[in-house]
Amino acid sequence: MKQLRVLSLPYLVWMVIFIVVPIIMVAFFAFTTSDGNFTIDNISNVGQYANIFVHSIWLALIATAICLVLSYPVAFYLSRMEKHKQGTMLMIVMLPMWMNFLLRTYAWMTLLGNNGIINYLLGLIGLGPFKLINTSGAVVLGMVYNYLPFMILPLYSVMQKIDKSVIEAARDLGCNPVKVMFRVIVPLSLPGIVSGITMVFVPAISTFIISRMLGGGSNLLIGDLIEMQFLGNAYDPHLGAAIALVLMVIILAIMTVMNQFSPDDQVLI
């Protein structure tokens, strides 16, 4: 098989130039001034935006928690359906994800707008109008709507592998349904929970579209901050790189913690 190794050479070159070097460049920009001198000012300047970081982490956490709570019953219900119906049902649940997420977010823009259909319908029964769009709630809603399938899929694929007889055994041995849930199904689905959380949290914390389209000016997130440094008015790629670097470290730290909850040997059953 040795002679086959050479086949990976083109990719290895590609990987170094377009994956490794760019990441190094982010780190390099984060620690230099525009003259190319070493500095830690960029990193320390990130501290000024601590409130934006806290706000982003907070909204992403809420959205992730809501996704988990909403998805768990869905995944469980799907995994207990008759086998031949599961595929079709899964397709129905996943289908909206195939629409571009800009269009999905735009859909909520039209729904939540001050002249949108929700306020219109509420107006018909004499309520409102409420300020729905340009709020933190709208941003969280956008995150939940866009990333819900990312939570359902990993949960479903773990639960589908849980042997029915394990649940029956627990019941035979005297567990009530609540106990079956929390002592059998939840522990066995832990790997799915962990990967679902990361798959929702990472895009949620780094989004700039959802906050821009649904959050208005008052809901600046980390993603907006980075985008502004590279393509916006506040052009400063050095500060932008520093923010991106801090974001990567936060995500890496969270993922390391999450992975502690999911030892490999738990995936077995």
Of 97-156, which residues contact other proteins (CB under 8 A)?
98-111, 113, 115-117, 119-121, 145, 148
Interaction residues for other proteins, span 175-204 (CB under 8 A): 202-203
Residue with tokens 């994800």: 97
**Separation between Cα atoms, residue 35 and residue 198, nearest integer Å:** 38
Site membership for other proteins, residue 164 (CB under 8 A)? no
In the complex, least distance from residue 114 CB atom to other proteins, rounded to whole angstroms:
10
Per CB under 8 A, the segment of 47-55, 69-77, 161-169, 184-192 that binds other proteins is 69-77
Which position among 54, 69, 70, 253 is part of the footprint of other proteins (CB under 8 A)?
Answer: 70
Burial class (CB in 10 A: 0-12, 13-18, 19+), 99: exposed
Per CB under 8 A, the segment of 33-41, 47-55, 186-194, 247-255 that binds other proteins is 247-255
Helices (H), 18-96: 21-30, 41-46, 50-79, 83-94
Which position among 128, 137, 232, 237 is part of the footprint of other proteins (CB under 8 A)?
Answer: 237
Query: What are φ and ψ of residue 38, in 5° steps?
Result: -70, 140
Write out the two tokens for 245: 């670097």
In the bound state with other proteins, the residue whose beta carbon lies nearer, of 104 and 171, is: 104
In the bound state with other proteins, the residue whose beta carbon lies nearer, of 89 and 175, is: 89
Write out the two tokens for 15: 């990987």
Q: In this structure, are residues 19 and 7 in contact, taking their beta carbons and an 8 Å threshold? A: no
Site membership for other proteins, residue 33 (CB under 8 A)? no
